[in-house]
Amino acid sequence: MKEVILKLEGIHKKFIITKKKFGKKATFVHALNNVSLEVYKGETLAIVGESGCGKSTLGRVANKILDVEKGNVYFNGNNITHLSSKEMLKHRKKMQVIFQDPYGSLNPRLKIKDLIGEPLLVHSDMNKNQREKKVKELLNIVGLSEEHLTRYPHEFSGGQRQRVGIARALSVNPSLIIADEPISALDVSIQAQILNIFKELQRKYDLTYIFISHDLSVVEMIADRIGVMYLGKLVEIADKNNLYSSPMHPYTKALLSAIPVIDPTKKKKRIILKGDIPNPINLPTGCPFSTRCPQVLDVCKDKMPELIKLSDSHSVACHLIKKIK
């Protein structure tokens, strides 16, 4: 039986837009709507979807950077949902984050040796010499050299800065790394190098990844399982082979049809979604995809579909599945 390292249970998260005043109700953006999933030790779970679907919010909730209104977050069997910042310290070093913008996530006033060594000041009892030795080892692991120790972030390329971010995340020996669009800001040739580093580190240190991305062609290279999100809702989750060969949700099918074909002689049928995206402040009572779905049913407009387990490795939230059955 697979070991569950992270579990999200019925997560709801919303952000306030306008406060309640002068008799008017407060308005909220519903970022996550009853999201539940499990992440298994040693796997790479990719979370994909359009911009604004709640992917990054999910990652921040999993790491408790953001608190939730409803639901529970379990890490290594411990409920961390309501822990304080001080209580989270013992868990924090085991779940690290690699951010989308490699430059924005690094303090421009600190040298690389201080950026990578800073987590060791908080989460270890190492002395200065031990920290410096550890930082040098980490730089070597991600393909940088000791001459980079005294440089500042602005002296590096995007790919090198992301390597620094990876080294910093590895510094405290985490078991889970949440990578939020870690290669989207990089050139294609650099993307491949960073992905290779991710895979090599996973093999070497038995790491578990939550890999957040909007690029399904990239996800295919690194993921073991893929979760598809739409407007704060998890609409499909399956292992990579099942999702790419037999997608079940209409939204997943549309996303896969948008992957570019390398061979110019081959043509691919695109699924062009029509209709309007619902307002995230005032979501419909039924399926959020019902306004754009080419196969919409009457029940889709009135009732929110639940995640149905088709097999041990494939679950879908769609009323069409019940119709097919």
CB 244 within 8 A of CB 261: no
| pLDDT score at 153 | 93
Length of the chain: 325
For residues 99 and 230, give the distance between their C-alpha atoms in angstroms, rounded to a whole number.
Answer: 21
User: 34 burial class (0-12, 13-18, 19+ CB within 10 angstroms)?
Assistant: middle
| pLDDT score at 2 | 86
User: 152 burial class (0-12, 13-18, 19+ CB within 10 angstroms)?
Assistant: middle
Residue with tokens 């209580």: 87
- Cα–Cα distances in Å, from 298 out to 50, 273, 290, 302? 25, 18, 9, 7
For residues 32 and 35, give the distance between their C-alpha atoms in angstroms, rounded to a whole number.
Answer: 6
The closest of 152, 90, 163 to 123, measured between CA atoms, is 90
| pLDDT score at 158 | 86
Residue with tokens 């985490």: 174
Domain extents in the chain: 4-94+174-324
What one-letter code names the amino acid at 54?
G
- CATH level 3 topology of 4-94+174-324: Rossmann fold (3.40.50)
Residue with tokens 């992917």: 55
The yes-or-no verdict on residue 49 having pLDDT over 70 is: yes
Residue with tokens 């690194």: 222
The yes-or-no verdict on residue 293 having pLDDT over 70 is: yes
Confidence band, pLDDT 50/70/90 cuts, at residue 187: confident
Average pLDDT, the chain: 90
Q: Which two tokens stand for residue 318?
A: 């769609």
Lowest mean pLDDT among 13-22, 47-56, 74-83: 13-22
Confidence band, pLDDT 50/70/90 cuts, at residue 17: confident
What one-letter code names the amino acid at 123?
H
Helix (H) or strand (E) holding 253: helix 250-257
The yes-or-no verdict on residue 324 having pLDDT over 60 is: no
What are the helix (H) ranges across 93-176? Answer: 112-123, 128-141, 158-170
Q: Which has more confidence, 10 or 1?
A: 10
pLDDT tens for each residue of 95-121: 999 988 878 889 999 999 999 999 988
The yes-or-no verdict on residue 213 having pLDDT over 70 is: yes
pLDDT tens for each residue of 255-288: 999 888 877 777 778 888 888 888 888 888 899 9
Q: Which two tokens stand for residue 74?
A: 């379990």
CA 290 to chain centre: 25
